Amino acid sequence: MAAKVKKTKYIFITGGVLSSLGKGITSASLGLLLKERGLSVTIMKFDPYINVDPGTMNPYQHGEVYVTDDGAETDLDLGHYERFVQAPVTRQNSVSTGQIYFEVIQRERQGKYLGKTVQVVPHITDEIKRRMTTFDKKFDVVIIELGGTVGDIESMPFLEAARQLGLEQGRTNALFIHLTYVPFIKSAGEVKTKPTQHSVRMLMEYGIQPDILVCRCEEELEKDVKSKIALFCNVEEDAVILALDAETIYEVPMHYAKAKLDDAVVRKLHIQRTSKPTLTEWAKFVQRVKKPKTKVTIGFVGKYVQHQDAYKSILEALTHAGAMNNARVEVKYIDSEKITSPEIAAEVLSETHGIIVAPGFGSRGIEGKILAIQHVRENGIPFFGICLGMQCAVIEYARNVCDLTNANSGEFKKVKNNVIDLMPDQRGITNKGGTMRLGSYPCVLKEGTKAFESYKSQIIRERHRHRYEFNNDFREELEKGGLIISGVSPDARLVEMIELPNHPWFVGCQFHPEFKSVAVGGHPLFVSFIGAAVTHQGKSA
Ligand code: GLN
């Protein structure tokens, strides 16, 4: 542990009034500011749902399932933590009520509670505290984001555990930040503090007095409004921090630095000898996001296009890669189910300078994806296929170039030409949760390929989440037909990347590069893809 603090400091972040105020971005931004002050930081998320993890949840409801290096399927907020703090999180950073109960019930079945009645307090809360202190002494600061909104029945045990832990750690080692909403009422022409007062009162019913209030508001807060909030909510005036709406989420750390959130945190936690973050590289990145030189349009072909949180990390990776290319990436969402003919494909893809075919599960929308891929392959439009997107590219090539009639994936249809099929290790698995090929695996790249050119490295490590893969029975035939296998597992058994020669940029990967794209610097494949889209736009302009 860095010598900045003697004891690990705990920061709890709760939310009140309503959801979607940006607790995840607040946690990530504070993490970045504290890291820039020279502290070692990790961020944990505690989610109140009973699912063990979001791996089995519909992305339509819950948003993207984010995958960590060690193969945990987690909430998308973990993605923000990694992108902002630029340090990997692990399975232990993501905790759900389901995991807590699972553990306690297993222990009960093993007779470990020695005849006691197993109860929410202390057994569930003790298990929550045990998880909350996983990183004790390993980091200077542990930020703990508590999912849900104060007042929800299901988040009560988390608040109780946080209260207890705060007391055990002592006032200068634990801090409570409450994120609330201060609405601006147009007809009255003023902001209203009552919802914040109520939400703090509710938090206090659980025995938690917030140390810092972060108030989300569309307007600047007048001094007297701040004073009122401070007085009624029993916090110091300089601990009332305004969170104004930002143009991009990446501007939020800069807003918070200006509003002195990190100053209040280090002051209250008695963290000494740290200097104000400069955010030099970050500010340059934000500037490029806000005022890029050029603009490209990327067609995003997927099935959950109405729900953008379902593809959060890809969209963020496009923003990062855009900044690296000094281009604004405008995403045109294309519902693959609507592409039912080559003509429609040509029409919906006109005016796009590159397309991404999204990851996914199940057969819905597949034929539309294949038609889109055929169009961009034949017309020299940059193509980036991710996971299912790569699998569709293989199917398209098999059908239309290698004459493998009706080629398909075993996931959709059992046929003679299953060019994509279940991985041998997956046969016989029936449980759905956490049983895919998950997490980081090495991949060896072939020199002279676009993959190699992008990464500038022979061995890479990327994260996976799939059951199906390129079927080796067809490897020779597809390679003979011109498909390049540009990345394989070190034992050469699994095809991890494909591409096409004689095409400006046609690359597919079985893994999910989007999970490793960080704000400052981006990801090599996305940066290279957007570079190709910028070139394509130059030619077509
Ligand atoms: N459904 C495919 C598989 O399981 C692709 C998964 C994905 O795109 N993440 O292999």
Going from the Cα of 194 to the center of ligand 1, the distance in angstroms, rounded, reads 47
pLDDT value of residue 221: 87
Span 465-482, pLDDT tens digits: 999 999 999 999 999 999
Q: Which residue carries 């933590």 as its tokens? A: 81
Contact 421/394 with Cβ under 8 angstroms?
no
pLDDT value of residue 430: 78
Half-sphere exposure of 385 (CA within 13 A, CB side): 30
Going from the Cα of 414 to the center of ligand 1, the distance in angstroms, rounded, reads 16
pLDDT value of residue 390: 98
Residue nearest to atom 6 of ligand 1 (CA): 466
The hierarchical CATH code for the domain 293-540 is 3.40.50.880
Name, in order, each residue with C-beta under 8 angstroms of 241's C-beta and a sequence gap of 6 or more.
212, 213, 214, 215, 256, 259, 260, 261, 264
Q: How far apart are CA 256 and CA 526, in angstroms?
A: 29
pLDDT value of residue 52: 87
Give the start-end residues of each E strand in 418-458: 418-422, 437-445
Is 514 marked active-site? yes
pLDDT value of residue 272: 87
**What is the CATH architecture assignment of 9-283?**
3-Layer(aba) Sandwich (3.40)
Is 392 marked active-site? no
Q: Check residue 408 and give left, alpha or beta (phi > 0: left; psi -120 to 50: alpha).
A: beta
Q: How far apart are CA 499 and CA 480, in angstroms?
A: 13
pLDDT value of residue 87: 86
**384: nearest Cα among 408, 365, 404, 359:** 359
Is 205 marked active-site? no
Q: How far apart are CA 41 and CA 415, in angstroms?
A: 51
Q: What is the DSSP letter of 198?
A: H
> Is the preceding peptide bond at 122 cis, omega within 30 degrees of 0?
yes
Span 208-257, pLDDT tens digits: 999 999 999 988 888 999 999 999 999 999 999 999 999 999 999 999 99
Q: How far apart are CA 423 and CA 411, in angstroms?
A: 11
Residue boundaries of the structural domains of the chain = 9-283, 293-540
Residue nearest to atom 1 of ligand 1 (CA): 361
Q: How far apart are CA 253 and CA 243, in angstroms?
A: 10
pLDDT value of residue 144: 98
Task: Choose one of 386, 438, 468 to mutate for the ligand 1 pocket test, by most ligand atoms within 8 angstroms of C-beta.
Answer: 468
Alpha helices of 177-306 — where are they, by DSSP H?
Answer: 194-205, 223-233, 252-258, 261-268, 280-290
Q: Along the 541 residues of the chain, how does pLDDT read in single tens digits?
A: 444 788 999 999 999 888 878 999 999 999 999 999 999 999 999 999 998 888 888 877 788 999 999 999 999 999 999 999 988 899 999 999 999 999 999 999 999 999 899 999 999 999 999 999 999 999 999 999 999 899 999 999 999 999 999 999 998 999 999 999 999 998 888 899 999 999 999 999 999 999 999 999 988 888 999 999 999 999 999 999 999 999 999 999 999 999 999 999 999 999 988 888 889 999 999 999 999 999 999 999 998 777 778 899 999 999 999 999 999 999 999 999 999 999 999 999 999 999 999 999 999 999 999 999 999 999 999 999 999 999 999 999 999 999 999 999 999 999 999 999 988 777 787 777 888 899 999 999 999 999 999 999 999 999 999 999 999 999 999 999 999 999 999 999 999 999 999 999 999 999 999 999 999 999 999 999 999 999 999 887 6
Going from the Cα of 420 to the center of ligand 1, the distance in angstroms, rounded, reads 10
Please state whether beta strands 41-47 and 141-146 pair in parallel, antiparallel, or not at all (unpaired). Answer: parallel
Q: How far apart are CA 12 and CA 5, in angstroms?
A: 18
